[in-house]
Structure 1
Amino acid sequence: MALIGKLKTTDNLIFRGIQVEPQCFLCSCSAESHAHLFFECDFSFNILKNILPDFNVFLLRPNLFQAFEFIAQHEFYSSTEKDFCCLTVSCIVYHLWRERNSRRFSNIRINLVKLICNITAAIRLKIAKWKNKEMLLIRFTGI
């Protein structure tokens, strides 16, 4: 849903005639949209580049599609590393969406460091039975 822009972000709700507060609940600096939420937002981009430091090469913030494209076209990633990075980005998207909803509907906030810890813990659980787990954890030090 996130990749094809179908999540109920404020830009989608406003387009459908539903009046909602347009601000991003992660950074409170911009209007919320799919592109902003994943990963033009300072908050979300900081999570992405902390967990996957290779994203520091971007001069401009990537959107979600560009993030997956970067992984697919990265010439120094093996197929296992590409799978791992796709899993990681998917985990980040899931946790960002949950945090956004928690802030929007429950007024409960997790700080950046705690959210990064939660995401990396989820990733470690997902790859626990992968045979190349140790190599991936060494290669991607943000996990």
Structure 2
Amino acid sequence: GGSWIWKSLCELRSLARPFVFCKIGSGFTGSFWFDNWISLGPLIELVGVNAPRTTGLAENATVHDALLGNRWWLTSSRSRNPTIVFFKDSLPDPTDMSLSEVDDRYLWQIGGNAPKDSFSSSDMWNHLFNHSPAVPWYRSVWFTGMIPKHAFLSWLVALDRLSTRDIMRRWGITVSPMCLLCGSSDECRQHLFFDCSYSQEVWEFFYSRLHLSPPHLFEDGLRWISSPTQDNNINLILHLSFQASVYLLWKERNSRIHSQVSRPPAVLIAEIQRLICAKLDSLSRAQRHRPSTVSFLSTWFSFF
């Protein structure tokens, strides 16, 4: 009766379970057979499904159920059964458990790292999947303070995965090759975002105010924007203006296809300014605990 997302999460239990470590306190919660509580893994996987019957400890037993006072229930057994011998050799000293009043805790343990209370999706991803070499422009796309939808589109542009008209024609789709913003050259990533006279007017507004001249090639510009100056505030403003410009130029291009509505560059520039100013306002609030720091908004208004 659960929701689709809950059912989907439940299907990941077999993947997640090996990373869940039970830190035993009193032992009243942790499952003796099925929880990973002695660092070797779940005992049922080590000794087999017949072990509960062999040892006389129920399948649903907790760790505390396996204690007789301050010792394990098998301590006095003289059996040479391999399963019982394994338990005698492997189970930890139960003295602290028998005296503990602390509840058992479930922690995340990834690889050989120490168990933690908190879950890190990045640590889990890096453990489960192979690492690809870092691309030289990743700091230009993913940075603290980014606007997520702008960063996502910038990532697609960096990979050249947008359906620009040159790519659509390579797919065999019959469309005009002309740029929808200027109508004077064939549309491709380099032209649409850097060479087009419409786009250049947008870029020029921001870079001229900061007295900067970015490279002319898109790939070079993408690397340059990661650290264009020595001023961190200006660098953030340039990051945000770059991604907002890419986002709104693409949005304007699509609007001309689907709605036959076009706007002059000045309207785009004004919208980019509003977006950046709103973002910098929230980021500047986080700087208030550092009174000696020049705020992002102060830097913004000094140039724009």
Same fold (TM over 0.5): yes
- Larger % of helix: which? 1
Q: Which runs of 5+ in 1 are unaligned?
A: none
Residue 174 of structure 2 is aligned to residue 19 of structure 1: yes
Partner of 1:57: 213
Rounded to whole Å, the distance in 1 between the matches of 2:164 and 2:263 is: 20
| TM-score after normalising by structure 2 | 0.42
Q: Radius of gyration: which is bigger?
A: 2
Q: Which runs of 5+ in 2 are unaligned?
A: 1-155, 285-294
Partner of 2:199: 44
Partner of 1:84: 237
Rounded to whole Å, the distance in 1 between the matches of 2:185 and 2:200 is: 14
**CA-based RMSD:** 1.9
| TM-score after normalising by structure 1 | 0.85
Amino acid at match of 1:133: F
Rounded to whole Å, the distance in 2 between the matches of 1:6 and 1:140 is: 34
Q: Give the 5 Å matches for 1:1-143.
A: 1-53=156-208, 54=210, 57=213, 62-74=216-228, 76-131=229-284, 132-141=295-304
When residues 139 and 64 of structure 1 are mapped into structure 2, their CA distance, relative to the original with a 3 A threshold, is: farther
Secondary structure (helix, strand or coil) at the match of 1:57 reads: coil
Rounded to whole Å, the distance in 2 between the matches of 1:102 and 1:8 is: 14
When residues 139 and 71 of structure 1 are mapped into structure 2, their CA distance, relative to the original with a 3 A threshold, is: farther
Rounded to whole Å, the distance in 1 between the matches of 2:221 and 2:204 is: 11
State how many pairs are aligned: 138
Rounded to whole Å, the distance in 1 between the matches of 2:282 and 2:218 is: 27
C-alpha displacement of 1:126? 1.5
When residues 140 and 96 of structure 1 are mapped into structure 2, their CA distance, relative to the original with a 3 A threshold, is: same
